[in-house]
Every structure is written in structure tokens, then in C-alpha cells.
Amino acid sequence: MSPSRQKHPGGFTLLEVILSMGILALLSASVYAIVSASIGSSRTAMEEQLAVRRLDSFLRITRDTFLNLPPQSTVAYVIGKAAGGQPEPRLLLTQVQGILGMPSLAGGSAVLAARPRSDGTRTITLVRIPPHATEQEQEAALSSTGIPLLPKIRNPRWSFFQGGAWRQEWPTGSPRPELIMFAGDLDGLPDPVEAIFYVPPVTSASQATQAASTPTPSPAP
């Protein structure tokens, strides 16, 4: 038998194996990139949905709070100190009851404090101060953990509308503002947050007394 008619043994040559491995590696890299992109998109969408739910819940609670403020309640905006010494913006609502889940306070105060976090964001936290609390009891309440309402908010700001102008300050003893605005940047959302809340006025002491003895109706949806 001539050499030209000899049959080659079965199997792949080394070159064919190398080419096959190269093609398999390219396919694997493509599949990994597609799967990673899909997982990243899903994670981003889930984080955005969670941020939206948290924001909606916070805005609903805050809107109901302002709409149902008792006539004797006051509003103030102060800058306190967090546990680490950082400035902590605080929205103070005095003589509240029946709002924010605090019917038992019977005239205590509610504080919405912007607590600093280790990642540079802040958490809007509800702090309860009982009525007739001493200065030490107030400090203890303000340094407590509180109830987190809205985490991962950056540069949270409260503004107050009165007399045709917005103001960044609202010291203790000021009359009720006509409107209150909350603004900031929430992690997980591409657009900044801005919400305006209506605050019902109290026009006279007699109306305040009458309103205090009358149950406050729930706001219309």
C-alpha cells in the first residue's frame, strides 16, 4: 500500500483543540457579560423600586402629619448635634397627639431628625419626646435610636413658606408656616426629591379650642 493511501488515526489535532478552546472561551465570556448585565439591571431596578416605596411611605406619613396637626401644635426648625458631634437638622413638632402613631404622648413632641450615616447619607428618623420632659430627658430622647423613616437621603432640606416667600430658617416661637417643603437626593433614584406639604392654619384661640375638642377628619385620598 502506498503512503498516500494510509489513513490518519482518529481524533483531533492539537491545533483543532486549541481553536475549539478559544471559541469556547469567547462564548463563555459573552454569556458571562450578558448574565452580569442582566443581574446588574435587575439589581438596579429592585433598588429603585425599594427607594420609591420608602419615599412614598415617608411622604404619605409626613403629609398626614401636617394635615392633622392639633391646633395647639407648633413647628420649629433647629440644628442640633448628632452622637458623633455632626450637625443634625431637626424639624420639631410640639404638643402633638394622635399623629405619627403617638396617641399616648398626649401633648409630647415629635422630632424628624436627619441622622448622619457612615456612608455620607442621612436617615430621617422619628424621635419622640414625652410631655413635661426635663432637659436631661429631652437630651436622652434625642440621642435615642428613634424610628427610621427614610434612609440614604443626601442633603435633606426643609423650607417654610410664609408671606409670599420661602425661608430656610424657622426658629422656635414662629407662627405656623403656610407650606413646608422637603427636598434632597435619595440614593437609588435618578431625580432629586421635592415635596410640598400644606399646613392648616389656626386663626384664633376660640377656633383652636373648638378644633381641639372635635375629632380631626381623615384627609381625602
Tens digits of residue pLDDT in 82-118: 888 899 999 999 988 777 765 555 678 999 999 999 9
Give residue 149's pLDDT. 93
Q: Which of 180, 80, 69 is nearest to 125 (CA)?
A: 80
Share of the chain above pLDDT 70, in %: 78
**Would you give the end-to-end CA distance of the chain in angstroms?**
97
Mean pLDDT of the region 66-86? 90
Taking CA 212 as the corner, what is the angle to CA 206 and CA 218, rounded to the nearest 5 degrees?
125
Give residue 219's pLDDT. 37
pLDDT tens-digit readout, 123-152? 999 999 988 888 898 889 888 889 999 999
Instruction: Return all residues near 145 (Cβ < 8 A) that are at least 6 apart.
Output: 125
Alpha helical stretches, state H, 95-196 = 135-142
Q: Which of 99, 80, 106 is nearest to 172 (CA)?
A: 80
Give residue 24's pLDDT. 81
Q: What rounded mean pLDDT belongs to the chain?
A: 82
